[in-house]
Amino acid sequence: MSFLRKVMAIVWKDVRAELRTKDILSSMLVFSFLTVLIFQFAFDLRTSVVNLVLPGVLWIAITFAGVLGLNRSFILEQDRGSMEGLLMAPMDRSAIYFGKLIGNLLFIFVMELVLLPLMTVMFNVSLLAPAILLVVFLGTIGYAAVGTLFAALSINTRAREVMLPVLLFPVMVPVFVAGVQATGRLLDGDTLADIARWVQLLAAYDGIFIAAAMILFDYVVEE
């Protein structure tokens, strides 16, 4: 079996498990709506301030809801004792990482595909522009790349799901700053060329951390 097929086998396993229970997607979706709702009450997002505050609300919703999904991806394996099965499978350990990463990305993308049109309708701004989608896409990849590594790491701690956000948020500051700034400037009418530096930063972050996580994942699961 080629490397890619092994990766896709893990992805398919996660997708099928999710389609049966719908635990992860439903909790992420509901949680992201609730986050937006709470910000609506906190900041009273009327037209005058919406461009200023909405990018932050979007990225907070993605980040917070994303943590829920990332946490589940390895906790489920651990609780059902299937982690050992994965580790015993005759394949490179990085295949597990990429399988889990793609699975997590799929779940977060699905959440975003519901969240973005919903926010577009609720706040009357066009979040569905191609440039904004590109920024969200790149940011999500970097977020999930580090998040998947740290999710595997935090299941080995006493606090488990509490640990993940504490570990993840300080390291993903570049994604958050770049995502919020780029989204905000696109909403203000800037073009993709104007925010090229943010896009470059996001792409660099994605590349660096996917490479780092690929190497370091072996050490996380070596027991």
The contact set with other proteins (CB under 8 A) reads: 146, 149-150, 153, 156-159, 163, 166-167, 169-174, 177-178, 181, 185, 197-198, 201, 204-205, 208-209, 212-213, 216, 219-220, 222-223
Minimum distance of other proteins from residue 178's CB (angstroms): 6
User: Rounded to whole angstroms, how far apart are CA atoms 140 and 109?
Assistant: 8
State the nearest-atom distance from the C-beta of 213 to other proteins, in Å. Answer: 8
Nearer residue to other proteins within complex by CB, 20 or 158? 158
Q: How far apart are the C-alpha atoms of 172 and 193, rounded to whole Å?
A: 24
Q: Which of 73/181 has CB closer to other proteins? A: 181
Tokens, residue 198: 């943010």
Exposure string for 6-26, b = 16+ CB within 10 A, e = fewer: bbbebbeebeebbeeeeebbe
Asked if 72 and 137 touch (Cβ cutoff 8 Å), the reply is no
Q: What's the closest the beta carbon of residue 108 comes to other proteins, in angstroms?
A: 20
For the CB of residue 198, give the shortest distance to other proteins in the complex, in Å: 7
32/184 with CB nearer other proteins: 184
Q: How far is CA 160 from the centre of its chain?
A: 18
Report, in Å, the least distance between residue 5 CB and other proteins.
28
Residue number with CB closer to other proteins (25 or 199):
199
Write down the least CB distance from residue 138 to other proteins, Å: 13
